[in-house]
Chains A and B, each alone.
Chain A
Amino acid sequence: MSDPSFVVNLLKLIVFPGFLFMIGLAFVYEWLDRKFYARMQNRIGPLYTGPSGFLQPFADFVKLLAKEDIVPQAADSLIFSRMPIIALTTMFVAVTLLPIISVYGVLSFSGDVIVAVALMTIFCIVVFLAGISSTNPFSSVGAERAVSQLLGYEIPMTLAIAGVALSAGSLRLADVVQAQASTHWYIFGPQALGFAIFVIAVQAELERIPFDIPEAEQEIVAGWLTEFTGRKLALFRLSRDLELIFVSGLAATLYLGGPTGPVIPGLEAVLFPVYFVIKTVVVLFILSSIRTVFARIRIDQMVNFSWKYLVPLSLFQLLLVRIMI
């Protein structure tokens, strides 16, 4: 218990590439996303809190924490009250898998690529339970849409990741990063198709605009989030932001070489986080542009699109990878 490596690991988990750093980064990324989205629509976006509205997401979070916390009378309060905490826990576990200060994440073991996908699926189950336990018609419809959508995008995403695992010859994120450092980034080559599929699937996972069907505010108020207020809503918002970091970090790790890059020997621990942030911001801007350019589609169109185009394309991508390596 008292040996120094235990303390270092604990600090890694809680402070630097772990929870505190990720919470800070979550607010920064939400600000970047909102600002970029607003500028693309010729609006200004967050402006008043901090320089250029930098502190706006944090201010929103604190505001929500102070607001009244309502549990609807008809809700299944046992599930309803636990789900925001479980959602946040799931995403905290997920972000510790990302390699940031070295090629290894805070948690790194063989098979962690599969665990990353599984955690995204578990987050969707949490969303469903949160919606269903509110017993509000809007929430129930939103929750059902979230699950129907998952049935559409999960398989192409897993197949796209399978292509990466196939060319790296390993199901471990650290090995994927090392394989890319010794050969080339996987986005150059047949994996570019896989990257495109991954980005589309991830947009659906994040429930952002072309696929924001589960929380379509013009039809079903806020979807599965309708009944959540105060602290619970704040936790869900934070876990959404963490999910944004997680998926852009995963895209950077799988396709853009992770945190590696040209380094001066001895300065890896400083430069790797910088590369990680640069690469994830690039992915974030791609995701935000998609969000700006498209309009929402219907749930049946989404599932149709996934099964008719994305699944065959991802199978083709897998074949292409198998032939070319």
Chain B
Amino acid sequence: MMLAEIVSYILIVATIVAAAAATQVRDITRAIVAFTIMNIMVAAMFYVLGAPYIAAFQLLVYAGAVTVLFLAAIHTMRRR
């Protein structure tokens, strides 16, 4: 029980830090990396909380597909 609590606290802190980084970092590629890390952390949190299917789909849809869409979008727009 103790270990699960420690893990979930670490995940919560990491999620908040990554989410803050995703909004505050100037470089858009790094912001997307932070967003991906946040989504992986959220997926891990769902898994720890006992919802493996939501965790798997969070990983597939948000950490995978949405990130790829963002990355595909940044190469079609002009970089500054």
- Give me the interface of A with B, judged by CB distance under 8 Å: 76, 78-79, 109-112, 114-115, 117-118, 121-122, 124-125, 128-129, 132-133, 140, 143-144, 147-148, 150-151, 154, 158, 171
Query: Would you call B59 and A115 a contact (CB within 8 A)?
Result: yes
Chain A nearest CB from B67 CB (Å) reads: 6
| 21 A-B contacts (beta carbon < 8 Å) | A76-B27, A79-B30, A79-B33, A109-B47, A111-B52, A111-B55, A112-B56, A115-B56, A115-B59, A118-B56, A118-B60, A121-B60, A121-B65, A122-B59, A122-B64, A124-B68, A125-B68, A128-B71, A133-B29, A140-B75, A158-B60
For chain B, residues 54 to 79, give those with C-beta under 8 angstroms from any C-beta of chain A. 55-57, 59-60, 63-65, 67-68, 71-72, 75
Query: Would you call A121 and B68 a contact (CB within 8 A)?
Result: yes
Q: A79-B33, A132-B29 are in contact. Are A147 and B71 (CB under 8 A)?
A: yes
Q: Which of B53, B60, B63, B65 has the most CB of A within 10 A?
A: B60
| Other A-B pairs, 6, CB within 8 Å; known A114-B56, A140-B75 | A111-B57, A117-B60, A121-B64, A129-B29, A147-B75, A154-B68
Query: Would you call A118 and B68 a contact (CB within 8 A)?
Result: no
Q: Which of B29, B47, B71 has the most CB of A within 10 A?
A: B71
Chain A residues contacting B29 (CB-CB under 8 Å) are: 76, 79, 129, 132-133
Which residue of chain A has the shortest Cβ distance to B73 in the bound complex? A147
CA A28 – CA B43 in complex, angstroms? 35
Chain B: interface secondary structure? helix
Q: A125-B67, A129-B29 are in contact. Are A114 and B72 (CB under 8 A)?
A: no
Query: Would you call A111 and B56 a contact (CB within 8 A)?
Result: yes
Chain A residues contacting B57 (CB-CB under 8 Å) are: 111, 114
Q: A109-B52, A111-B53, A133-B29 are in contact. Are A118 and B64 (CB under 8 A)?
A: yes
Chain A residues contacting B64 (CB-CB under 8 Å) are: 117-118, 121-122, 125, 154
Interface size on B, residues (CB 8 A): 21
User: Is B36 close to A, CB under 8 A?
Assistant: yes
Query: Would you call B52 and A151 a contact (CB within 8 A)?
Result: no
CA A147 – CA B29 in complex, angstroms? 14
CA A133 – CA B68 in complex, angstroms? 16
CA A158 – CA B31 in complex, angstroms? 27
Query: Would you call A144 and B75 a contact (CB within 8 A)?
Result: yes
Which residue of chain A has the shortest Cβ distance to B60 in the bound complex? A118
Chain A residues contacting B53 (CB-CB under 8 Å) are: 110-111, 114, 171
Chain B residues contacting A150 (CB-CB under 8 Å) are: 68
Chain B residues contacting A118 (CB-CB under 8 Å) are: 56, 59-60, 63-64
Chain A nearest CB from B69 CB (Å) reads: 8
Which residue of chain B has the shortest Cβ distance to A150 in the bound complex? B68
CA A123 – CA B61 in complex, angstroms? 14
Query: Would you call B67 and A114 a contact (CB within 8 A)?
Result: no
CA A122 – CA B60 in complex, angstroms? 9
Query: Would you call A114 and B68 a contact (CB within 8 A)?
Result: no
CA A171 – CA B52 in complex, angstroms? 11
Chain B residues contacting A110 (CB-CB under 8 Å) are: 52-53
CA A179 – CA B20 in complex, angstroms? 45
Chain B residues contacting A121 (CB-CB under 8 Å) are: 60, 63-65, 68
Q: Which of B47, B53, B56, B72 has the most CB of A within 10 A?
A: B56
Chain A nearest CB from B44 CB (Å) reads: 11
Name the contact of A154 in the complex, choosing from B27, B65, B71 (C-beta under 8 A): B65
Chain B nearest CB from A218 CB (Å) reads: 22
